[in-house]
Chains A and B, each alone.
Chain A
Amino acid sequence: MRRHLLSAADLDLADATLILDTAELIDTALAGREVKKLPTLRGRTVVNLFFEDSTRTRISFELAAKRLSADVINFAAKGSSVSKGESLKDTALTLEAMGADAIVCRHSASGAPHRLAEWVQGSVINAGDGTHEHPTQALLDAYTIRRRLGRLDGVRVAIVGDVLHSRVARSNVVLLDTLGAHVTLVAPPTLLPVGVESWPAEISYDLDAVLPKAEVVMMLRVQQERMNASYFPSVREYSRRYGLDARRMAAMSDEAIVMHPGPMNRGMEIAAEVADSVRSTIVEQVSNGLSVRMAVLYLLLGGASTSEAGVA
């Protein structure tokens, strides 16, 4: 493992498998316990540096760090010196001077965590940067698929919807390809990024043609807050062509599962009855996210840090 987790592309098959296996072992170690707490990262400090709104990712990282007994500092850009104009670099150096061992960073600018990693000694974990990457989401999605289907190699995954604005899709395509899965992206042409032909995935514009063959259907949120132009004529038309409703779900194979990274636009990309069906792994994804983030924090912080290793 490298010192940082910035991109799903940094992970080779061995790294990715190690993270998933570690998450599974942590899960079994904590299964059925009343006190779900481990002393592993006592004395380590994890800073959640969030320049963008988030519910599940921030809480998930916070809980993961706390379950490993690390000290957690939550930093939201609102109400901090960032609103007085402090730069990302100065903010990072301030946190570093306070002794942060890891910085979990979410930023609206693609590449911000990469810059951050050049400035600080500790580990940087990318918790979502702009429309670029969200590697821990891809890891928890892979973990969820492996738990439900028992394998990843050769699994056929359809990723459906707003690929253009989705860092989840980008990270998932890269990681699932590394893990041996076959990915098909399904979206209207306007919601596919430039250069998508070079991604290790097939492209389709027809959801109904892809659904019967897919073992995993991953619905993406339509990110209206990032849309400054009209990418489709109307919500209703989008929903009719690319939304997953009960009728479409019936066309899926029996074992196929439905995933969504959340937050959902119920009734737009996914119908409520689909989101709440037995095929849906949406709630599981949240609890799996906790295990995967514990595994990532353990693998990045659980050993000697670079400065300590120098002494030993």
Chain B
Amino acid sequence: MRAAQNAVQPAAASGRTILDSPAIARVIDRIAHEIIERAGDEHLGELTLLGIPTRGGPLASRLAQRIGLFVDRSADPIPVGSVDITLYRDDLRSRGVRPLSPTCIPDGGIEGRHVVLVDDVLYSGRTVRAALDALREVGRPRVVQLAVLVDRGHRELPIRADYVGKNVPTSAREQVRVSLVETDGIDEVVVR
């Protein structure tokens, strides 16, 4: 789902492009506005964005940058971090050892904060469950919300996203490949 070895290939050759680079930029802007609206003036200062590696990280950074721009917080940037969920997975025994990704909790922690978890694709919901477990050990946020670029359905747990870039009905046999400039050299979402 997250793999994108051939991301630089033309999308038409390998599947159906559902979001191209301008569309991804628009989606991020819209989610940024929604986060601002839902947080409201009184809680805007409590926002902390945490990306789930690999591609949640750059998405969280972009969102924070856009939110900072829209509410003019250039002097006081939104805290951004990442939370690796590998050590919290419930399917570690299903295949070989997975490499870890960095966890970086911003200064000030998450205690009492308005945390928005950011990931690229919402699928079974197990990644989000693991992220919630990981967060619980770090502190007690006031609110935890979830923002995803693509919701492809097929949930296996009672989890939903607060902010969705695009709902994409898929069959379980299809793959959703998110590529980002920071990790793959190109912005696009392809279903194949």
Report A's interface with B, CB cutoff 8 A: 1, 18, 21-22, 25-26, 28-29, 31-33, 35, 37-40, 68, 298-299, 302-305, 308-309, 312
Contact = CB atoms under 8 A, between A and B. Distances in A.
Contacts, number: 58
B120 interface: no
Contacts of B101: 25
Interface residues of B, number: 21
State the main secondary structure of chain B at its contact with A: loop
A303 B98 contact: yes
Given A32-B109, A40-B92, A25 B137 contact: no
Q: Is the interface of A mostly helix, strand, loop or mixed?
A: loop
Contacts of B87: 26, 29, 38-40, 68, 298
B95 interface: yes
A310 to B, nearest CB: 12
Nearest to B109: A32
A32 B105 contact: yes
Given A25-B102, A35-B137, A1 B84 contact: no
A37 B98 contact: no
Contact of A25 (B97, B100, B133): B100
Contacts of A302: 92, 97-98
B98 A28 contact: no
Contact of B100 (A22, A31, A37, A312): A22
Contacts of A21: 100
Nearest to B103: A29
- Of B93, B96, B101, B102, chain A has the most CB atoms within 10 Å of the CB of B93
A304 B109 contact: no
